[in-house]
Amino acid sequence: LIQRGLERHILPNLTRDRGVQDALKTATGYVGVVVAGFVGFSALGLDLSNLALIAGALSVGIGFGLQNIVNNFVSGLILLAERPIKPGDWVVIGGHEGTVKKVNVRSTEVETFQKASVILPNADLIANPVVNWTHKNVQGRVEVGVGVAYGTDEDSVEKTLLQCAREHANVLSWPEPFVLFMNFGDSSLDFELRAFIRNVESRIRTASDLRKAISKAFRAQNIEIPFPQRVVHLVSDGE
């Protein structure tokens, strides 16, 4: 009842951040369970000092048997307090990529883009690197590589790529997009367009749109995107 009242009436007035609301609600629930336990023991007339001695004796053996559970529990408390990830974040964890649905005390639920739910132990999130695309803000950067035929004017390629980036609605005007001449490839001059975007959640879609625009612009300006070529020289043995 307290959690429900907090969720409906108090927390929305304190903060609009859904992650903070979930963290406070969860913490209140666990504090309430502990308080209710002590009140229940007192109501039954149990001596809490004796209970503490028994619990202390059992804690050593239980601790060895429940190391992983305790580790995940403590890690969950750290996640709820520090909030490096929160519901709604786009994360990459141990090869799993998706959106955080819920942060529990023992585990965290991540929904992949294929709509599969991945349950990750909280200890893994504390001990291993976590990529959070939307931790501080939703801005990001997209990179699009393209190769052009040898002999193509490099300045013309750069100008065309920048024009395609500036015409896209999701690309920011500041920081400005820029083009890098990456390498002399086997069959092409390799360029890379790098552009900062308003919403990193549309990163894949934006990259796809830019590739379409680049392909159309190159065709309009007769800029060739070559395919890999191999030249075979036949040498006669003189017979």
d(CA 45, CA 35) in angstroms, rounded, equals 16
CB contact at 8 A, 175 and 196: yes
Distance CA 99, CA 18 (A): 14
Per cent of the chain over pLDDT 70 is 87
Residue with the bigger pLDDT between 164 and 69: it is 164
In the structure, what pLDDT confidence band is assigned to residue 197 with cuts at 50, 70 and 90? very high
Q: CA nearest 121: which of 134, 131, 110?
A: 110
Residue-wise pLDDT for 76-105, tens only, equals 888 888 889 988 999 999 889 999 998 887
Residue 62 CA to residue 141 CA, distance in Å, equals: 48
Kind plus residue range of the DSSP H or E element containing 67: helix 67-82
What is the per-residue pLDDT across 27-49, written as a single tens digit (0 to 9) for each? Answer: 788 788 878 887 887 787 766 66
pLDDT of 114 over the 80 cut: yes
Joined together, the tokens standing for residue 185 give 């490839």
Evaluate if residue 57 carries a pLDDT over 80.
Answer: no
Give 198's contacts (C-beta < 8 A, 6+ positions apart): 138, 139, 170, 171, 172
